[in-house]
Every structure is written in C-alpha cells, then in structure tokens.
Amino acid sequence: MVIDNYDGYAAITYGGACTINVSAVFLNGDYGDNIKRSFTSLIYHEMTHIWQWYPPMTPTGLIEGIADYTALKAKYYKPEFFARPGSGKRWDQGYSITARFLEYCDGLKPGFLAAMNRKMRNAWILNYFVELVGKPVDQLWREYKAKYAGVGNFTEDTNLGLWREHKDMHCYDAKEETGCQLRTLKK
Ligand SMILES: [Zn+2]
C-alpha cells in the first residue's frame, strides 16, 4: 500500500501489482473525525479488488459492486451514501446499487457470490446467474425490483460518483489501462 497526496480519487488499486494507492488528500479531507471508519471501509473495498477475479469482459459495475458488497457485509458503509435494496436502474450499474442486488441473489442462493467469483477465475459469462441461482440476470433484476418497489433511495439518475462514500479506480495492469494514468499529484 502506498499513501500519497493523490488528487482525484480516494484510492486506485492495481490488481496486477497488488498495490493500493490511497490518497492522503482523501484521508485529510471529506470525513473529518470518521477517518478510521472511512479508511477501513475503503480498505475493504480496495482489498476486494486485489483478491477478486475479473477476467476480460467483466462488467466494471460488477467488479465495483463486488467490492462494495464486502464493505456491506462487514458493515463498513455509511447508510446515507449507500444504496438501499431496490435502488437503481441496472443490475450492473455498479457500487452499492450492484452490491444490494448481489446481496439479494446471495439470499436466494447462499454462497452464490463466492461461487461466482470462483467461476470468474477462468472467464466471465452472464449465464453464471442461471447456473448458480437458476434464473437469467434480467429476470432476477425484475423480481428484485418488484420485491423492493418503492424502497430504494438511489434512482436511475443518481450519480454514483457523487453518492459513493469514496471514489476509487481498479486496474489490472497500469500499463494496459490508460485510465490509470489520470491521477495526478496535488500541488
Ligand atoms: Zn473499486
């Protein structure tokens, strides 16, 4: 782990190098006296990026949803910044919206997400939902939305970048992902 005066993101995780870059700007800034809790939540999220599998074609929203799912299960999240069940427009919208949907799927089939992560070691296939939960993901999403109709707090227009507890970026290999070069050191 490297902590430096990065600007723009709270943290960037390089999966290939197993490195988490944490922004000291983030640690000093937005969360005041809740730094320890915010940092712990951040590390749950970023460590998940180190350990999870994300083969080519994996939806970015799923990768981020799995990372937020571990923070959800560990109860290291701010309710006001975290989607309630039933939120969102798409299952792979990302972050806490996807984390809540994965929580629903795991409730239908306990162990689902761990099993899917094991499968993702080799490839990403949308049909994993059928194999593991017994239904296509679109059907699961419709049933999930129906179950929690009117409960969600985040709408389809919610800017997750604004609503998230922390902004981050994951990259498997910094050399291959030009987006990883966007971060800059704060003057
Ligand atoms: Zn992330």
CA of residue 68 to ligand 1 center, whole Å: 7
Nearest Cα neighbor of 141 from 94, 180, 89 is 89
CA of residue 170 to ligand 1 center, whole Å: 5
Higher model confidence: residue 117 or residue 43? 117
- With 90 as the cut, is the pLDDT of residue 34 above it? no
Decide the pairing of beta strands 11-14 and 19-23. antiparallel
CA of residue 67 to ligand 1 center, whole Å: 6
- The one-letter code for the residue type at 172 is Y
**No. of H helices and E strands in the chain?**
8, 6
Which residues on adjacent β-strands are paired with residue 170? 13
Q: Domain limits of the chain?
A: 2-185
Q: How confident is the model at residue 38 (pLDDT cuts 50, 70, 90)?
A: confident
Q: For residue 164, what pLDDT is reported?
A: 46
Q: For residue 173, what pLDDT is reported?
A: 54
Decide the pairing of beta strands 19-23 and 184-185. unpaired
CA of residue 107 to ligand 1 center, whole Å: 23
Decide the pairing of beta strands 6-7 and 168-171. unpaired
Quote the pTM value.
Answer: 0.85
Higher model confidence: residue 138 or residue 161? 138
CA of residue 62 to ligand 1 center, whole Å: 10
Higher model confidence: residue 182 or residue 171? 171
Q: For residue 177, what pLDDT is reported?
A: 44
- With 90 as the cut, is the pLDDT of residue 100 above it? yes
Higher model confidence: residue 179 or residue 140? 140
State pLDDT tens for residues 167-176.
677 766 544 4
Q: How confident is the model at residue 29 (pLDDT cuts 50, 70, 90)?
A: low
Which residues on adjacent β-strands are paired with residue 20? 13
Across 116-121, average pLDDT = 95
Across 37-61, average pLDDT = 88
Across 147-158, average pLDDT = 77
3-state secondary structure at position 96: helix
CA of residue 110 to ligand 1 center, whole Å: 24
% helix / strand / coil in the chain, to the nearest 5? 50, 10, 40
Across 94-121, average pLDDT = 96
CA of residue 172 to ligand 1 center, whole Å: 12
Q: How confident is the model at residue 73 (pLDDT cuts 50, 70, 90)?
A: very high
Provide the phi-psi class of 135: left if phi over 0, else alpha when psi is between -120 and 50, else beta: beta
